[in-house]
Amino acid sequence: MRTLPPLARRRFVQGLAAGGALAALGGWRAALAQSHPAPTAELRGAEFHLEIGETPVNFTGAARVATTVNGQLPAPLLRWREGDTVTLHVTNRLREQTSIHWHGILLPSNMDGVPGLSFDGIDPGQTFTYRFDVRQSGTYWYHSHSGFQEQTGLYGAIVIDPRRRDPIASDRDYTVLLSDWTDEDPMRLFNKLKVMPDYYNGIQPSVQSLRADAASRGWRAALSERLMWEQMRMNPSDLADVSGATYTFLTNGATPAGNWTGLFTPGERIRLRFINGSAMTYFDVRIPGLKMTVVAADGQDVRPVDVEEFRIGVAETYDVIVEPQDDRAYTIFSQAMDRSGYARATLAPRAGMQADVPALDRVQLLGMMDMGMAHDMGGGDHGMQHGSGAGQGGMVEVKHPYPAERGVGNSMLPDVVSTRLDDPGVGLRDNGRRVLTYADLHSIREPADNRTPSREIELHLTGNMERYMWSFNGVKFSDAKPILLRYGERVRFVLVNDTMMTHPIHLHGLWSDLESPDGAFQVRKHTITLNPAQRLSYRVSADARGHWAYHCHLLYHMEAGMFRAVVVE
Amino acid sequence: MTSKTKRLGACALAMTLLAAGAHAQSAATDHGAMDHASMGHGAPAAPDAPPAPPPIGSLPSSDGAGERGYDSYGIHPHMMDNDPTWQVLFDKFGMSRNRDGQNALNWDGRFWFGTATDRLVIKSEGERENGGGSDGKVEAFWSHAVSPFWDLQLGARRDIGTGAKRNWAAIGIEGVLPYNIELETTGYVGSSGRTALALKAEYDLLLTQRLIFTPELEASLYGKSDPERGIGSGLSTGSLSLRLRYEVTREFAPYIGVSFERKFGQTASYASDAGASRSQTAVMAGVRFWF
């Protein structure tokens, strides 16, 4: 039996649907696009009732059913207070099992919400009560950890106000939750990827693109690079497995035409809490005309840094301060990393105002550095490789110690990798804008436990795009054994990205304290992005007992096996 | 077995082992080289500076995994990393018309069911002439991944169409060569000491994102003549087909093309005796589709 959510909630989502329908009629750039003045669905307090159900939505002109919380997509913003004990009653009104994971929140393992690891999941008709102490503040989010419910809409923001005065003062405070919506059944989508991994890739190397390349740098260089990729059986355009070919990108649940709008009065300090709640999409975010001051990453305050653009990996959060002085509208432009589409929202003094929407950037393909080639193959004039890299942890030769790295599940073994924290990643290199990199992120506070790690756990991110296999060390989840940490120890995780894709790696329950290239603590995060052929290290204090999930936060990579259990005992 | 059949059998086996061996060899290459200790140490710290952190790669290292499996911790996560899937794919399905004005239906399709590494694959390929005979084969394989780009396939083949129905045991490899050339090589052993080898290679050249040009080479070799099916020993037929398809969607792509086929040796003589030509050119049109 299907229980419909309350009528008022449905109307809210159908309001958003009007934007989606409009998009289908008039195109994304439709000048008459309707704007929604910030429909913030916020729940505040220490006790919450959340009902997970199905809600009809329409983002593209096609009626679909989303997985929602209290009938809302995104799920309601939960506002907690540091030091409180929160109680969350989660009721399952679906016909299948569900769960909620509180992403980046420190809590007992049995409250973490991963079926099979932390608890048994929430069966249809059942209510599970989560209760835990809130021991941190900042911007986080929550999402389902069951099946593909995260793809179909089950994600929402968490904002935790600090116990004491917030050092980051602002006049207004908005969450900006980015996500990717598909009208397709995610299971079908996953099967398509398994049958034809480049199904959604519309930027593949072709004779047409070869001619364009040759026109800009000569046939010799263009051909030699093309042949090198062909020889390796690799694809330089493999920037995103799932693209705008099926995705509609949303800001706070609104399509680009729907144009979510946050209001301001010129001269105000606005805090924008960006959250990437996508299943698969990296976004490059900018607000033309406004400088953004990044003040927090993954909920943790960082030394303020001024940027014009930042890349937000799946599951990451960034808080930025903007101070618009003029009586005009500004576009929050979040383009997908593969430039197949964008999410769009507006900051405006009055509802209905809007600013120009920039054109998508040109696609930047993967280069020699992403391949981890020891030597430049010659003939190539790739400006992007130089400058980024050497400064922040130069090239090091990499060993591939695990036998399965050379097995069926891994098709690429880089010769050299580099830490290159100052590399903004493919697509943002040398784009003429001041782009945030991990090298810019420095936590304001040092971790309470900042002991020198006593040992290293080295994991290689592995994959075989040809077969759509994803894993750590060439071993997929079901063939692996849990990673063991001793309670109280401080361990260094060393991650090496063998693959040519960018992966956001998330460790539940324990902080990931990213290190500088020389091995010192730099910034505290819960999700860490690795570029192709990159090596990063971070420290982990095993200060919470239990079973924790550890995985790539690209949903279909995780389901394909890029997942490990971590046991702290 | 004649010496020729032995050579053919050995050839098929060698091709198979080549792919499998490349994998085995690389898997055997150095393990246990986890010794990062020699990778250098940080400069000694100045007296009043905090101690330099240990350089990355300088601490005792492992993959972190314990001895025990998930069950002993009561972990049962619901992952889909072993879930099977399936596909029906017709690379060719359409009509051809040769120089002599003969029309024929052509097909080359497969069904598979399984995981990323183990699949049941059923393939069929052939043609049926309008008002004439037909020729083709149906094969079933267990296809097992032996390296990132290669599958070893074990199974059986049955010849269908005009002439005696032959049954074969089959062993082959299928995968992608450097430069993205797709290759299928299968060796066959039948009753009465019959052996055969089939080769197929193709390459997809994207002209644009939707317009794709595909050259395809095929060859058949037999260890022993089979007059009932008009086959002579040695290289019997070779063909080159050039197709141009337009992907209306990924799943549906009409194509047009041309094919050149040539019979060799005794096979050509059998054809001449039957009043057919040794070589044939045909134009074709059809659709490549999958679901």
In a 13 Å sphere around the CA of A302, the CA atoms on its Cβ side amount to: 30
Q: Which residue has tokens 């040809």? A: A466
Give the number of other Cβ atoms within 10 Å of residue A254's Cβ: 26
Q: Which of B29, B178, B209 sits opposite A231 (nearest CB)?
A: B178
Query: For residues A395 and A479, is the Cβ–Cβ distance under 8 A?
Result: no
| Mean of the per-residue pLDDT values of chain A | 90
pLDDT category at B133 given cuts 50, 70, 90 is confident
User: What tens digit of pLDDT does each residue of A241-287 get?
Assistant: 999 999 999 999 999 999 999 999 999 999 999 999 999 999 999 99
Contact A467 B178 (CB under 8 A): no
**Percent of the residues in chain B that have a pLDDT greater than 90, as a whole number:** 76
Q: List the one residue out of A535, A530, A408, A401 whose CA is nearest residue A468.
A: A408
User: What tens digit of pLDDT does each residue of A145-171 get?
Assistant: 999 999 999 999 999 999 999 999 999
Question: Which of A194, A339, A545 is most worth mutating to test chain B (most B CB atoms within 10 A of its CB)?
Answer: A194
Contact B33 A204 (CB under 8 A): no
Residue A54 has pLDDT above 80, yes or no: yes
Average pLDDT over residues A300-322: 98
Residues of chain A positioned with their CB less than 8 A from the CB of B147: 407-408
| Residue of chain B whose alpha carbon sits nearest to that of A539 | B56
Residue A370 has pLDDT above 80, yes or no: yes
Contact B80 A559 (CB under 8 A): yes
pLDDT category at B49 given cuts 50, 70, 90 is low
Average pLDDT over residues A492-513: 98
User: What tens digit of pLDDT does each residue of B89-131 get?
Assistant: 999 999 999 999 999 999 999 999 999 999 999 999 999 999 8
CA pair distance B117, B147, nearest whole angstrom: 9
Residues of chain B positioned with their CB less than 8 A from the CB of A536: none
Residue B41 has pLDDT above 80, yes or no: no
pLDDT at A368: 80
- DSSP code of residue A419: -
Q: Distance from A239 to chain B by nearest Cα, in Å?
A: 16
CB pairs under 8 A between A and B: 193
User: What tens digit of pLDDT does each residue of A514-560 get?
Assistant: 999 999 999 999 999 999 999 999 999 999 999 999 999 999 999 99
pLDDT at B44: 44
Q: List the one residue out of B243, B238, B234, B226 whose CA is nearest residue B280.
A: B238
User: What tens digit of pLDDT does each residue of A408-456 get?
Assistant: 999 999 999 999 999 999 999 999 999 999 999 999 999 999 999 999 9
pLDDT category at B276 given cuts 50, 70, 90 is confident
Query: For residues A167 and A187, is the Cβ–Cβ distance under 8 A?
Result: no
Average pLDDT over residues A54-75: 95
**Percent of the residues in chain B that have a pLDDT greater than 70, as a whole number:** 83
Contact B61 A455 (CB under 8 A): yes
Contact B34 A205 (CB under 8 A): no
Residue A13 has pLDDT above 90, yes or no: no
Report the complex ipTM: 0.87
Average pLDDT over residues B72-96: 95
Give the number of other Cβ atoms within 10 Å of residue A565's Cβ: 24
Q: Distance from B185 to chain A by nearest Cα, in Å?
A: 19
Give the pairing of strands A309-312 and A260-263. Answer: unpaired
Query: For residues A491 and A458, is the Cβ–Cβ distance under 8 A?
Result: no
Residue type present at position B131: G
Query: For residues B172 and B150, is the Cβ–Cβ distance under 8 A?
Result: no
Q: Which of B65, B116, B208 sits opposite A482 (nearest CB)?
A: B65
Residue A292 has pLDDT above 60, yes or no: yes
